[in-house]
Structure 1
Amino acid sequence: MYQFTGCPCSVCGKTLTDTDDIVVCPDCGAPYHRACYQVQGACVYAGKHGTGFEWTPPASAQPEHKCPNCGAPNPESAQRCSHCGYVFGSEQAAPPPRVDANRQAQQPGGGFNYTRLYQEAQAGGYWQASAASADEPIDGIPSDEWATYLGPSSPAYLRDFSQMQKYGRKSSICFSALLFGPLYFFYRKAWKPAFVFLAVDLLLQLPSLLELLVLSESAFAPAISGSTLLFLAQIASIASFAVMVLSGMFAKYLYRRIAAERIRRIEAEFPDKSKREAVLRAQGGVSWAAVVGVCTAMVVLGAVFSLLLGPNLQAVMGLVL
């Protein structure tokens, strides 16, 4: 039933309110103040009765239906919001254009409604797009085989690999590689970059080790001045920092290339799905044993190097501390 509040009285033209005693013509539906209708004595549209005439409110008095998605006013008979496209009576909202979404997030006072923007993103934005893209083949390999190879942390890697493939990026920050360097690659069974980065790290440590030999007056000390060794150690320290940053930026890209190559080889060698999955799990995943083995080897090398130090260990301890 139509609500006549806000419509004009058909006799006096004044706006009808909630407190008014309103009567309606049974033939055409025109509203009146009861007192106005009694004074008039009949409907002002009586001459049109019987011709199919039906009273309709003026456009300015038609009730508005506020969109639950963006709050924009719409005619009560509207089926879709004229501002954002929301379908009235449905739980699903038609995805508004990006420009409209940004405009909806603007507040009347000129500020920015971050809550609305966050809700719009949750409703159909970044997270859903990321989840959908993670199911797409990466480097021509199905996501389920990637997941089998990568292990428990596959969702995060698939999301990063998918974004790297989508935008053609080679860099994606990896804090594990940034902090632990070669140990990250050993943990992820990426043997080639693991040994390469380990060899680079040891090479960059060589000037400092030679400096320790000179300071300890070892018989194995090279015939190089202390100032030269100090300069080389400083250069090596800068280079070591640069290698650490590069490792953190490109570790995922290197891991992705090596993993993709290994998965393709396994696909070619094991066409049977069940056997292929078993091999993917065995050759993929992570290896704590490799990490422990490398750390143990480094401790042993440190112990062996300490045997080469000379008698002046106080100078060495002073440098270390």
Structure 2
Amino acid sequence: MYQFTGCPCSVCGKPLTDTDDIVVCPDCGAPYHRVCYENQGACVYADKHGSFEWTPPASARPEHKCPNCGAPNPESATRCSHCGYLFDNGQTPPPRVDASRQAQQPAGGGFNYARLYQEAQGGTWQSSAASAVEPIDGISGDDWATYIGPASPAYLREFARMQRYGRKSSVCFSALLFGPLYFFYRKAWKPAFAFLAVDLLLNLPALLELLVLSESSLAPAISSSTLILLAQIASILSFVVMVLSGMFAKYLYRRSAAERIRRIEAEFPEKAQREAVLRAQGGVSWAAVVGVFTAMVVAGALFSLLLGPNVEAVTSLLL
């Protein structure tokens, strides 16, 4: 049944309220104060009955605001006339449409791919997306985006989700596959060197086993069975470290980046200068990846010089 609060009485014209005694004409639905209707003695639209149905004026019709875009809709509407959101169905509201972006759509309809490409090349899409992100660890989305670089939309979305729900884990396949090299690539120096040191430590039993098998003079006085056991334990721990690296890499990168961004913000309060420093110290570093990889290859070559005369035993083990 329609709620008549705010509608004018069909006799006196005064808005009806929740406390009024309201009567409705059974033929056309026109509302009245009971006193007004009894004084009138009949419906004022009696001569139109049969072809007339009373409808509330637009100013008195209750509106249902869309929870997605805020646009007013008739109370009986099941779908928003502005954004198409379905009411009372439990669906997740679609992303809000930026009016300025909507205005950039081509006149013939469809998506303006040329505009999207131009914005992506110029960085305007990335900038507008970062500005809309809530501060993460007390740092604005713009500073985060400037520091992270082209991959910032994906990282900011994940960082915001982690902050909102208080989570620290988020799968990172790059760290899962490449371990410390991921952190060197992202310039997260502390976790990079920490994971590298752990990797070297866990490889130590296997290196000692190679010294024993090759009958090197530097081989420790440890039985082969003990070395094999240590190598197996180290292998299991290496797998655990690999999984932990993949699960917490983004959190560790976020902490490392936040620490550096705060230091830059404190030293360079002027925006233009701060952005230049953020770009220089942020982003990624292929040089660090190549440098670490080269150092590992050189270290492996130097270690081979420490092997004993029985190199065939080592070769057969490796093959």
- TM-score over 0.5 (shorter chain): yes
The equivalent residue for 2:94 is: 123
CA distance in 2, matches of 1:140, 1:197: 27
Q: Is the 2:205–2:231 Cα contact (8 Å) retained in structure 1? A: yes
Paired residues, what number?
A: 224
The equivalent residue for 1:319 is: 317
The equivalent residue for 1:55 is: 51
| RMSD over aligned Cα atoms | 2.3
Q: Deviations over 1:128-165 (max 9, x none)?
A: xxx79961111111101100000110000000000000
Gaps of 5+ in 1: 1-48, 58-77, 102-119, 126-130
Aligned counterpart in structure 1 of residue 84 of structure 2, from 93, 101, 106: 93
- The TM-score normalised by the length of structure 2 is 0.66
Q: Is the partner of 2:47 in helix, strand or coil?
A: coil
Deviation of 1:79 (Å)? 4.0
Stretches (4+) displaced over 3 A? 78-82, 120-125, 131-134
CA distance in 2, matches of 1:145, 1:258: 14
Structure 1 position 173 matched with structure 2 position 171: yes
Q: Deviations over 1:186-212 (max 9, x none)?
A: 001111111110000000000000000
The equivalent residue for 2:279 is: 281
Deviation of 1:92 (Å)? 2.4
The equivalent residue for 2:243 is: 245
CA distance in 2, matches of 1:54, 1:235: 91
CA distance in 1, matches of 2:295, 2:261: 30
Q: Is the partner of 1:217 in helix, strand or coil?
A: coil
Q: Is the 2:136–2:159 Cα contact (8 Å) retained in structure 1? A: yes
Q: How does 1:72-87 map to 2 (within 5 A)?
A: 79-81=74-76, 85-87=78-80
Q: Is the 2:131–2:141 Cα contact (8 Å) retained in structure 1? A: no
Q: Is the partner of 1:96 in helix, strand or coil?
A: coil
CA distance in 1, matches of 2:290, 2:174: 16
Q: Is the 1:133–1:162 Cα contact (8 Å) retained in structure 2? A: no
CA distance in 2, matches of 1:277, 1:221: 53
Deviation of 1:50 (Å)? 8.4
Kindly tell me: are residues 230 and 317 of structure 1, through their superposed partners in 2, closer, same or farther at Cα, counting changes over 3 Å? same
CA distance in 1, matches of 2:132, 2:231: 45
Question: Residue type matched to 1:267 in 2?
Answer: E
The equivalent residue for 1:64 is: none
Q: How does 1:1-321 map to 2 (within 5 A)?
A: 51-55=47-51, 79-81=74-76, 85-87=78-80, 90-94=81-85, 96-97=87-88, 100-101=89-90, 121=92, 123-124=94-95, 135-321=133-319
Kindly tell me: are residues 251 and 217 of structure 1, through their superposed partners in 2, closer, same or farther at Cα, counting changes over 3 Å? same
Kindly tell me: are residues 274 and 318 of structure 1, through their superposed partners in 2, closer, same or farther at Cα, counting changes over 3 Å? same
CA distance in 2, matches of 1:227, 1:50: 107
Q: Is the 1:80–1:86 Cα contact (8 Å) retained in structure 2? A: no
Gaps of 5+ in 2: 1-44, 54-72, 97-128
CA distance in 2, matches of 1:121, 1:220: 66
Q: Is the partner of 1:247 in helix, strand or coil?
A: helix
Task: Using the aligned pairs only, state the percent identity.
Answer: 71
Q: Deviations over 1:110-133 (max 9, x none)?
A: xxxxxxxxxx558359xxxxx799
CA distance in 2, matches of 1:166, 1:154: 18
Q: Is the 2:211–2:306 Cα contact (8 Å) retained in structure 1? A: yes
Question: Residue type matched to 1:86 in 2?
Answer: R
Deviation of 1:94 (Å)? 4.8
CA distance in 2, matches of 1:150, 1:204: 31
CA distance in 1, matches of 2:257, 2:75: 49
Deviation of 1:251 (Å)? 0.7
